[in-house]
Amino acid sequence: MRILGIETSCDETGIAIYDDERGLLANQLYSQIKLHADYGGVVPELASRDHVRKTVPLIQAAMKDAGLNAGDLDGIAYTAGPGLVGALLVGATVGRALAFAWNVPAVPVHHMEGHLLAPMLEDNPPAFPFVALLVSGGHTQLISVTGIGEYTLLGESIDDAAGEAFDKTAKLLGLDYPGGPMLSKLAQQGTEGRFTFPRPMTDRPGLDFSFSGLKTFAANTIHGNGNDDQTRADIARAFEDAVVDTLAIKCKRALEQTGFKRLVMAGGVSANRTLRARLAEMMQKRGGEVFYARPEFCTDNGAMIAYAGMVRLKGGTSGELGITVRPRWPLAELPPVA
């Protein structure tokens, strides 16, 4: 089975073709980061217009890379939510229209299920059950996963997502949007322990997170200690250590609560090297295993949508002719796949 995946939920146009026997046949990604950089964040209307410009040429390029013609596909998967409504509508409309023209099923995909399943694209895919840590620009969630579509939310951020906290703190440190990866790079030059940031909500039971206080803590630390290069690096280090520590503490709790031995991390922040190392060390000590995707499949991409679409199509999901996108869409609402 061969599926074309279309991702346009935010500021990346991602197009990929996945073949269940041969793996990934094509993967095209266009990032709008430069377009939004002047505004310090994603401008929804500009994002939609850029997806309109890029989606069809990238599909053409992916088909060419894979050496395929229209008749060679078995389905077209598109991100139907959650995300920016105008941006979602571009991918959904192109995907649905192409599927109609090529007489194949169209499969609406949940963006976070895409992230969650991205580690399945790697050589050593996780078996069920596992605890998933979804850490991205818009989500911080711990989920119990017992099968495809068998998702129970264990805890989530009550305010900023982890990626959002990285980006906001990076901005305070004078780094460009999205600053998460650059903050992490700066933190490598930082002195461990010069500053200590709080580990929010770890002093009480439960699996929820709160990251909005960390940017205020960062702002106050900058204010009180100046803004020279070493101080900025030390603040970045203290911030990253606090986020990683907090995520690790809650992952450990979720593993104890569920009794699961496997931990899957997904979403943009799962590309963070300090977090990966910390969770790998923790799982080794616990006699378990951690799984994550290669860095380019942690952030938004078409491959994860093609893969999730294939799993869903095999499970009997296919969209109607009318197009519906869902800017908000809880993951736990997805039906299980037998």
Ligand X SMILES: Nc1ncnc2c1ncn2[C@@H]1O[C@H](COP(=O)(O)OP(=O)(O)OP(=O)(O)O)[C@@H](O)[C@H]1O
Residue 181 interacting partner from Mg ion, ligand X, none (CB closer than 5 to 8 Å by kind): ligand X
Region label for 143, one of left (φ > 0), alpha (ψ between -120 and 50) or beta (otherwise):
beta
Contact criterion met (CB below 8 Å) for 78 and 94:
yes
Residue-level length of the chain: 338
Residue 221 interacting partner from Mg ion, ligand X, none (CB closer than 5 to 8 Å by kind): none
180 is in an annotated binding site: yes
245 is in an annotated binding site: no
Closest contact distance (angstroms) between CB of 224 and ligand X is 25
Nearer to Mg ion, 113 or 241 (CB): 113
Q: How many whole angstroms separate alpha carbon 180 and alpha carbon 174? A: 12
Q: Which stretch binds Mg ion (CB under 5 A): 129-137, 150-158, 169-177, 228-236?
A: 129-137
134 is in an annotated binding site: yes
Residue 166 interacting partner from Mg ion, ligand X, none (CB closer than 5 to 8 Å by kind): ligand X
111 is in an annotated binding site: yes
Give the x/- contact pattern for Mg ion in 130-169, rule: CB under 5 A. ------x---------------------------------
Closest contact distance (angstroms) between CB of 101 and ligand X is 29
Q: How many whole angstroms separate alpha carbon 111 and alpha carbon 81? A: 6
Q: How many whole angstroms separate alpha carbon 314 and alpha carbon 254? A: 30
Residue 178 interacting partner from Mg ion, ligand X, none (CB closer than 5 to 8 Å by kind): ligand X
223 is in an annotated binding site: no
Contact criterion met (CB below 8 Å) for 175 and 186:
yes
The b/e string for 226-241 (b: 16+ C-beta within 10 A; e otherwise) is: eeeeebbbbbbbbbbb
Positions in the binding site for Mg ion (CB under 5 A): 136, 300
